Structure 1
Amino acid sequence: MARQKTTPEEIKQALKKEIIRLGIQDNPSRTVYQKKYERGVAPSPNNAIKVTGMKWQDLMIDLGFEYDGKKNSGVKDGRDYTALKATRYNYDNPEIRKEIMNRVVNVIRENNYTKPIDLEKNLKDKSGISYTTLRRHGFKWEDIIIAYKEKYGEPVVPLKQNERISWNQFSNKELLDIITKIVVDHKFRSINDYRINMTGKKIAPSIPTLNKRFGTTDPELWRMIQINGDLPIK
């Protein structure tokens, strides 16, 4: 059976989604899009123009983007800086905030970052947006690591076992999920099991650290773990 042709409207929506994913919606350069778009998933510039019958500039305006061809000549020292300059985002737009958060999470994953200082030093070069700018617009480290876990199913932790983790980088919910997973994986039956087996291990927060963070006693902490892990309460 012949494959059904993609309609102009479908092409437009796919193109818009990819432009936002790339983070170039401030000034969607055709050159930058051509270099970075996901082939086989998103439409190519030539295909989008062919199917819609529109020029790139007109197509961008039709999609609701601002476009200035004069700004798309940002090449210096052999490097295209256009994508890094496209940082004037509408941070009140939920869709754009979601795309930005996804980019940050991807940067953390691809570069094995484990703490906020990593983003402070490197995020601007990796994504075109500084961590300072993100914080100014309400992006918190606690929210970022939650988004990371939702996407990849695991917390942001150092890959080197000899590297000590700063538990301050985790939100309360993230920290509770970490200790619950340890309890479940090791089949601990009490908070004392956790203390005996995990004290001194760099991959696990200590009982004093946990009680201080949550403001709990040992029995109260164990009850929190049971509830969070849906464990039988005796």
Structure 2
Amino acid sequence: MEWRDTGILLSVRRHGETSAIIDVFTPDRGRHAGVVRGGTSRKIAPILQPGAQLDVAWRARLEDHIGSFAVEPVRSRAALVMGDRLALAGLNAVTALLAFCLPEREAHLPLYRRTEQLLDLLGQNEVWPLAYLRWELALLEEMGFGLDLSCCAVTGGVDDLAYVSPKSGRAVSRAGAGDWAQRLLPLPPVLRGEGDAPDIEIAQGFETTGYFLAHHLAPDLGQRPLPEARGRFVDAFSRGL
């Protein structure tokens, strides 16, 4: 069995004395693991940086084996985050969440394309947090936990939508919330693609998407906690407010 594709490197871990096991996110094969022979060598190790775009060729005797990868660099993103704390935290959040969420060997082409576009914006800190927030919404949608922010779940109206139900993921208006407002999540205009997207609204958006990642998606995956990298990125962003 063998195939060739491009992919985004999600994680690397040492395997034996000289090899490494990598996880890559590919457009046609989804998240896929394999062994890179000599992956800890001076020649190959610098290529195996999370977020890197790789050309990968996978080979195994049987399809259900872990197999081995031959890798060639296509684009390194290390330079984009060098010395930039927010960019580095963002890159780590993206790769960690994908490794956490994606089932093995299941294609998610729309999410792959969004991820590639997002990572290509690294270093552009004036636009990256908003792009990342929209990516988290897309991730929830792709994993089956998309938010419905089109109208109020209580009244059916479309005006003055200010909250999100933590249970259903649907929008709620101020009038519809009533005495329950304090139990609901914030719905800043930026989550609906409205307004100028100030940083304070993006931070509120992270609160809401983070809730659904932690309390809906993670339990569906077996009650695992979210990767710490996601929290570190949100903290790094919030410190700049």
Query: TM-score normalized by structure 2?
Result: 0.28
Name whichever structure is richer in helix by fraction.
Answer: 1
Query: TM-score normalized by structure 1?
Result: 0.29
- Higher RCO (CA-CA < 8 Å; seq separation 6+): 2
Name whichever structure is richer in strand by fraction.
Answer: 2
